[in-house]
Structure 1
Amino acid sequence: MKSVSVSDSDGHAFTPLVAIELAEDIKEEAASWLMNKIKDKQQRGGADLLVDQLSQEGQSDQKGNPNIFIVGATWLRLLHGAEEVGLVKEFGDGSMRGFTYANKDSFKSFEGDGDGFLSIAECQYIIKHELDTLRAKDETQVPGYTQMKLYPGKSIIRRMQSKGILLQIFPLHVKENLKRLSLSWYGKVKLSHQPLDDIRQYFGESLALYFGFLEYFTFALVPMAFLGIPYYLFDWESYDKYVVFAVFNLVWSTVILEVWKRRSASLAYGWGTLSRKKAFEEPRPGFHGTLGLNPVTGREEPVFPYARRQLRMYLVSVPFVLLCLYLSLHVMMVYFDMEVLGSGAARRGAHGLDRPAALHPQHHLRGGHRENHRLESSHQNHLILKVLVFNFLNCFASLFYIAFVMQDIVLLRQSLATLLITSQILNQIMEAFLPYWLQKRRNKKVHTRNRRTMGDQELPLGEQVRLEADMNTYLGTFDDYLELFLLFGYVSLFSCVYPLAALLVVLNNVTEVYSDALKMCQVFKRPFSEPAADIGVWQLAFETMSVISVVTNCALIGMSPHTKAYFPESETQLILVVVAVEHVLLAFKFFLAFVIPDIPKPIQIKLARLEFQSLEALKKRKMLEAAAGIPSKS
């Protein structure tokens, strides 16, 4: 879709940024009520946006859903929205400050009426924020649906989505910008850094940080890959020499994660998300509670007691996760015993002990909203932590069983190699190439149908929006980070038995960069921009994996025949030495994490200077108020 302009029913011209698809059989009074809420002024509980129903005129197929609406806003509304959501922009003096409309001319890139000051992704994020904050006030039900109850503070969009009368909300692509990004990102195979700033401008900070981490992780694996090749080729059975490789692995895993914190802090500062305050953010649409005032911002929003949330977490969620974990372990142990009892089953390699059929409660955890977290980031972080437990168990339990119960190092090496090779091939086919091929077929049908009626002209707005509506929905970075997390585990946990793992992961990540870029630009709907200052709970997940790798590698080295030969008479002494070495390595690991600052010194200085200037400005204002006899506000 080009940056076209349309007009709403009142004659206001605007650029369509977001599409809303309602159910085909939605009652007219419900659709009209929702559109009026979106268009109504904020003082009356509306979003003050511009809406137009997508016309079916000129559409070659008249069977499409007529209830698709496009949403935009005036430029003034978007600038005020930027202040409401707390966007941070570069100030005239080079510092990063929260945007305020009153000081708009003091910001570096603000010229004239501010055209180009906000990216399209930021404009779409602002509109999504305004739609999400549409909450019921005096309404008790959705018009036309007596059973669809509302109460003060309830998210209107959330309610209509949960009942299936609002099908989806998605941001629209800008074809020219997308084509330009695609060309610089994956259009040519080249050994260079990704255009992270351009990715951030188009898809937002969360996705840009994922691709930044993918790139960083790939480059960080290169030393491990180069070191692993000679160990693999020339020291296959020399376990005593693997001690050096394992120690290097442990130092490497700590250093790269600490350095990544500094890298992500630098990126987030330049993008204006490092200093954003979560206390100022609006609650997520699924958050519910009694309508009250936010004690920090003074805004009216749902309020939910902190103690009740903690009780739900520790009395409901944690016991449920532990129960599912116990059942999963029990099922897998039965499976392993049956495999070993089966004649020769344990020697069939990774095909026999690859990934047993464990219980999968992830869909229950994904849909659980009982904890009722206020912010989307907190909700996602708690969800990721719970789901990660089961994915870790499912992917690594068989390898731990082979290593420490069967104590078969040859089978462990074979299983790890098989997992790395087969999973990478299947992931590339299922995650990127197959969806891309299906989407290309769908696009070809639409373009062919369009050429029959309109010749070689560009797709009209209605056809383009409907084409995007039928594209797959990107469900977030969870699966992408999970894949990297598992690969990091394969490299770090069992490095002393399969040093070639890092090389295989490098090869996978190189193709992953291009396949992920391809599917983001060609397969999925454009996702909404999500402000992010780091990779969130995934940082903790990777750091936890690196700690587990210390224990795993020390145990594997202690089990090797070469190590046991040094303690022929006392197994207890061997265990004590291994535990002592493990503790020394853990202490060294935590020492490295302590001495490497998370935020580079220049950025720390800039943040401290900005805080100092804010305090000085506050003092000056209070002095002026006192001189004018104005009572000071608490």
Structure 2
Amino acid sequence: MMCLFVCPSSCLSIHLHIYLSLHHSISPSLSSNQVSDDRKTYFVKIHAPWEVLATYADVLKIKVPFKENDIPDIPMDWLFTPFRLPDHIMNPEPDYFTSPFNKGKIDFFLIDDKETFFPPSVRNRIVYYILARCPYHKTDREDKKGIKRLLNNGTYGSAFPLHDVRGSNSDQGCWAQFRFKFLCLIGCVSHNRKYYGEKIGIYFAWLGFYTEMLFFAAVVGLICFLYGLFTFDDNVWSKEICSEEIGGNIIMCPLCDKKCGYWKLNSTCNSSWQSHMFDNVGTVFFAIFMGIWVTLFLEFWKRRQARLEYEWDLVDFEEEQQQLQLRPEYETKCTSRRLNRVTQVFFCLLHCARTFLSGATVIFWISLIIACIIGVIAYRLAVYAAFASIMKDSPTNNIHMVGSLITPQLATSVTASCINFVIIMILNLMYERVAIWITDMEIPKTHLEYENKLTVKMFLFQFVNYYSSCFYVAFFKGKFVGHPGDYIYMFGWSKLRNEECDPGGCLIELTTQLVIVMSGKQVWGNVQEALVPWVMNRWGSRKARSHPESRYSRWEQDHDLQNFGHLGLFYEYLEMVIQFGFITLFVASFPLAPLLALLNNIIEVRVDAWKFTTQFRRPVASKAHSIGAWQEILNGVAVLSVVTNAFIVAFTSDMIPRLVYMYAYSNDLSMKGYINNSLSVFNISGFSEDNRPDDGESPGWFNSSVITTCRYRDYRYPSGHEKEYSHTMQFWHILAAKLAFIIIMEHVAFMVKFFVAWMIPDVPSEVKARIKRERYLIQEYLHNYEVFFLA
């Protein structure tokens, strides 16, 4: 097996020189130090000398410094000042004006040392650019060229740049060493960019910025949570539920058929107190705040991205090279071709059958997810009756021990959430392979097109996979249950009666679902990212590690690392965007979600830095001036989050019914009597045989000859009324208030969004001034240089 890799300038004294001419005439030879210990793998080490680097820097119009910047430093947004380390710690490099490199005007540029003039990312990108275009076989129809095709047909086993010496004072060492503070990982993106290139640099810049912004959301969310925690004494409705005189005397209707008995309202005392921690006035405030936060996050990121575009010389960058460079798979798999009359290049005819099959596959898998969610819902409906029957004689029915043991509602919710999480992870692993297969089947022309197609498919699937269970609990559970005597059943099956929300509300169950899925996803993701590559690397190099350094060379050590692949960053972005959806779409139910995300991301930055530098081969540097298609996905999630949080506050939380009661139905603008007002009355004699509890299922204190009515959560007229069991006027008042709140909140949030977007320019004025100043200086200096040269 042959392995081809690029050496940095630091390995000049130990490697075989292969000088690349403009005609790509490479004829490498092998020496003893290029043969691996197993005598089966041969290494060809390539280094580009100054002449090659200068020539292709001119061809690629790579920008290099020509004058030190004479404009004062761009002030950082005051919002992020606390996250910046002082200059005496960071030791920032001087800032320069840059211009496209011109080999014929060497004296025009600031070249102190030719060996370090081009950063590592530029050097390995130039060499890989040459290798990607080297012809190796000519036919009448086409010229076969490029290292990618040689890798695909097995001529070479791998091709990768070498890592710099680990632990050195290199660009790699600045941001990857664990002795550095977390803030250094955020502030060292320029070193990261020089080492890995702009594409990976922009990812770490975005991740660092996202983590910075999470700090503010986490602080406000924690304050809202503490507000709910410290206002327990003002929680009148929970006191009424827990009291012997009120909650102890309210007999509730069975929550399931046959196996569920009558129960007292004060048995939900614990869940009522728990619900108050998340369902309070702070919930409404935090939902509105997050609508503004997500707008600020996206707008400030555009500004940060514009700064990076200027600092990294990407202002005029166009992805033309990525769009013109064909994928080797496209060239080999494309059988039906047509000649482009303009470029004289053959392009592939994409058959409708491929597109149809791809779309049908995506729809099938999304349908499979929905079927699994329906299965989990059926599990919830079935096991609730079982848990209720098992726990009917447990101490939880004793009001003096309320909260000390698990309840049927909590047991059902937790087990269903855990099962749902396992299903999510299994489907996720399966669909990753399916998504890659159907994207390969479409034969995208370029890597950029390939990534965009895969991004859409994967995010659409992950969106349904991770969020569908939360959508069910938030917007469907307890909304379509009917009323005693006329219940609604799932698919009309008499054994699957739709779930109800207990008087504590469904918000606490949404919180439970969100915590389990989000926390499980984050923990599993970090373990998978850190543990799997480490185990595979340890296993792959188990024999070689026992050899001395002279026998286990640097290039063999790098070869034994995991291959990063062209989809490596895709999975990193996907993980963070899914997390972004959790903390925005359902954050009204769990204000601590941003805090959990912040803690996870502090670990995530460390894990990514360690993983990139020690567990993966160094990827080939590539340019990118933005986060690509993920920007539009984030914008879409941000808009949807305003709608979902408005609906959560209106229909999942009990805030609107409480406010309507306080201002429209309470005599003294207090919450006294709210619980009694929110429960309707049903005559027990109206139960059919299918709904009535079996003998022995009701508790011992229940006496049917004395207790003739039970209560349920709704606003309906009682038995004997002319509108028996139809909705009361209060129900319609509350519904109107909910719809009004949704409209007002959405309009306020969107108006603030558009106002903020209008007030905050995407490109800072300082950056615009620098760009103009730089263009002016380039023209002036070039003019003076040519006049002096001609003279």
Residue 557 in structure 1 maps to residue 594 in structure 2: no
Q: Residue 49 and residue 119 in structure 1: after superposition, are their counterparts in 2 closer, same or farther (change >3 A)?
A: farther
Separation in structure 2 between the aligned mates of residue 267 and residue 572 of structure 1, nearest angstrom: 48
Separation in structure 1 between the aligned mates of residue 354 and residue 741 of structure 2, nearest angstrom: 39
Q: How does 1:369-448 map to 2 (within 5 A)?
A: 370-373=443-446, 376-406=447-477, 408-440=506-538, 445-448=543-546
Q: Secondary structure at the match of 1:569?
A: helix
Residue 362 in structure 1 maps to residue 438 in structure 2: no
Separation in structure 2 between the aligned mates of residue 250 and residue 127 of structure 1, nearest angstrom: 46
Separation in structure 1 between the aligned mates of residue 180 and residue 637 of structure 2, nearest angstrom: 32
Matching residue within 460, 464, 467 for 2:554: 464
TM-score (structure 2 length as normaliser): 0.64
Q: How does 1:505-520 map to 2 (within 5 A)?
A: 505-520=597-612
**1:321–1:386 CA contact under 8 A, matched in 2:** no
Q: How does 1:107-118 map to 2 (within 5 A)?
A: 107-108=109-110, 110-111=111-112, 114-118=114-118
Matching residue within 165, 188, 197 for 2:179: 188
Query: Where do 5+ consecutive residues of structure 1 fail to align?
Result: 15-38, 141-150, 296-300, 451-457, 622-634
**1:496–1:557 CA contact under 8 A, matched in 2:** yes
What corresponds to 1:247 in structure 2? 288
Greater CA drift, 607-616 or 356-365: 607-616
AA aligned opposite 1:353 = N
What corresponds to 1:334 in structure 2? 371
What corresponds to 2:694 in structure 1? none
**1:493–1:548 CA contact under 8 A, matched in 2:** yes
What corresponds to 2:243 in structure 1? none
**1:402–1:411 CA contact under 8 A, matched in 2:** yes
Q: Residue 331 and residue 57 in structure 1: after superposition, are their counterparts in 2 closer, same or farther (change >3 A)?
A: closer
What corresponds to 1:103 in structure 2? 105
Q: Secondary structure at the match of 1:410?
A: helix
Residue 474 in structure 1 maps to residue 474 in structure 2: no
What corresponds to 2:547 in structure 1? 449
What corresponds to 1:628 in structure 2? none
1:183, CA displacement in angstroms? Answer: 6.0
* RMSD (Å) for aligned C-alpha atoms: 3.5
**2:310–2:771 CA contact under 8 A, matched in 1:** no
Q: Residue 498 and residue 237 in structure 1: after superposition, are their counterparts in 2 closer, same or farther (change >3 A)?
A: closer
1:225, CA displacement in angstroms? Answer: 1.1
1:48, CA displacement in angstroms? Answer: 4.8
What corresponds to 1:89 in structure 2? 64
Separation in structure 1 between the aligned mates of residue 35 and residue 319 of structure 2, nearest angstrom: 46
- Name which one, 1 or 2, has greater alpha-carbon Rg: 2
**1:105–1:111 CA contact under 8 A, matched in 2:** no
**What is the CA deviation profile of residues 384-434 of structure 1, one whole-angstrom value per residue up to 9, with x for unaligned ones?**
223221122222122112211225322221111112322222222221134
Separation in structure 2 between the aligned mates of residue 331 and residue 617 of structure 1, nearest angstrom: 64
What corresponds to 1:158 in structure 2? 148
What corresponds to 2:192 in structure 1? 199
Separation in structure 1 between the aligned mates of residue 162 and residue 209 of structure 2, nearest angstrom: 30
AA aligned opposite 1:96 = T
Residue 588 in structure 1 maps to residue 752 in structure 2: yes
**What is the CA deviation profile of residues 522-551 of structure 1, one whole-angstrom value per residue up to 9, with x for unaligned ones?**
111111111121222222222221111111
**2:291–2:642 CA contact under 8 A, matched in 1:** yes
**2:417–2:513 CA contact under 8 A, matched in 1:** yes
**2:55–2:103 CA contact under 8 A, matched in 1:** yes
**What is the CA deviation profile of residues 484-537 of structure 1, one whole-angstrom value per residue up to 9, with x for unaligned ones?**
111111111111100111111111111111111111111111111111212222
Separation in structure 1 between the aligned mates of residue 208 and residue 20 of structure 2, nearest angstrom: 45
1:257, CA displacement in angstroms? Answer: 1.6
Separation in structure 1 between the aligned mates of residue 554 and residue 751 of structure 2, nearest angstrom: 58
Q: Secondary structure at the match of 1:496?
A: helix
Matching residue within 728, 732, 754 for 1:569: 732
**What is the CA deviation profile of residues 240-270 of structure 1, one whole-angstrom value per residue up to 9, with x for unaligned ones?**
4311101111111111121112112212322
**What is the CA deviation profile of residues 211-240 of structure 1, one whole-angstrom value per residue up to 9, with x for unaligned ones?**
222221112111111111232244215344
Residue 258 in structure 1 maps to residue 259 in structure 2: no
AA aligned opposite 1:115 = E
Separation in structure 2 between the aligned mates of residue 51 and residue 282 of structure 1, nearest angstrom: 31
Matching residue within 3, 8, 14 for 2:11: 3
Matching residue within 338, 353, 364 for 2:420: 353
1:103, CA displacement in angstroms? Answer: 2.4
Separation in structure 1 between the aligned mates of residue 67 and residue 779 of structure 2, nearest angstrom: 19
**2:355–2:442 CA contact under 8 A, matched in 1:** no
1:82, CA displacement in angstroms? Answer: 1.5
Instruction: Give the share of equivalent positions with the same residue, in percent.
Output: 23
1:71, CA displacement in angstroms? Answer: 1.6
Greater CA drift, 353-362 or 544-553: 353-362
**1:495–1:553 CA contact under 8 A, matched in 2:** yes
1:176, CA displacement in angstroms? Answer: 5.7
**2:530–2:611 CA contact under 8 A, matched in 1:** yes
**2:64–2:99 CA contact under 8 A, matched in 1:** yes
Q: Secondary structure at the match of 1:416?
A: helix
Separation in structure 1 between the aligned mates of residue 602 and residue 525 of structure 2, nearest angstrom: 13
Separation in structure 1 between the aligned mates of residue 283 and residue 365 of structure 2, nearest angstrom: 33
Q: Residue 57 and residue 225 in structure 1: after superposition, are their counterparts in 2 closer, same or farther (change >3 A)?
A: closer
AA aligned opposite 2:123 = C
**1:86–1:280 CA contact under 8 A, matched in 2:** no
AA aligned opposite 2:319 = K
1:271, CA displacement in angstroms? Answer: 1.9
**2:280–2:655 CA contact under 8 A, matched in 1:** yes
1:118, CA displacement in angstroms? Answer: 0.6
What corresponds to 1:267 in structure 2? 308
Q: How does 1:472-621 map to 2 (within 5 A)?
A: 472-475=562-565, 476-559=568-651, 560-565=653-658, 566=660, 568-570=731-733, 571=735, 574-575=738-739, 577-610=741-774
What corresponds to 2:160 in structure 1? 170
What corresponds to 1:144 in structure 2? none
**What is the CA deviation profile of residues 560-580 of structure 1, one whole-angstrom value per residue up to 9, with x for unaligned ones?**
222145373243563354135
Separation in structure 1 between the aligned mates of residue 115 and residue 33 of structure 2, nearest angstrom: 31
Q: Residue 391 and residue 48 in structure 1: after superposition, are their counterparts in 2 closer, same or farther (change >3 A)?
A: farther
Residue 344 in structure 1 maps to residue 388 in structure 2: no
What corresponds to 2:46 in structure 1? 71
Separation in structure 2 between the aligned mates of residue 500 and residue 377 of structure 1, nearest angstrom: 37
AA aligned opposite 1:192 = L
Separation in structure 1 between the aligned mates of residue 35 and residue 778 of structure 2, nearest angstrom: 56
**1:7–1:52 CA contact under 8 A, matched in 2:** no
Query: Where do 5+ consecutive residues of structure 2 fail to align?
Result: 1-6, 70-96, 229-276, 332-336, 385-411, 479-505, 661-729, 786-791
Separation in structure 2 between the aligned mates of residue 64 and residue 332 of structure 1, nearest angstrom: 46
**1:365–1:387 CA contact under 8 A, matched in 2:** no
Separation in structure 2 between the aligned mates of residue 442 and residue 167 of structure 1, nearest angstrom: 16
Separation in structure 2 between the aligned mates of residue 366 and residue 551 of structure 1, nearest angstrom: 32
Separation in structure 1 between the aligned mates of residue 323 and residue 509 of structure 2, nearest angstrom: 52
AA aligned opposite 1:53 = L
1:162, CA displacement in angstroms? Answer: 2.8
1:139, CA displacement in angstroms? Answer: 2.8
AA aligned opposite 2:383 = G
Separation in structure 2 between the aligned mates of residue 75 and residue 177 of structure 1, nearest angstrom: 27
**1:56–1:62 CA contact under 8 A, matched in 2:** no
What corresponds to 1:18 in structure 2? none
Separation in structure 2 between the aligned mates of residue 372 and residue 191 of structure 1, nearest angstrom: 40
AA aligned opposite 1:605 = A
Separation in structure 1 between the aligned mates of residue 368 and residue 98 of structure 2, nearest angstrom: 53
**1:231–1:499 CA contact under 8 A, matched in 2:** yes
1:341, CA displacement in angstroms? Answer: 2.5
AA aligned opposite 1:111 = D
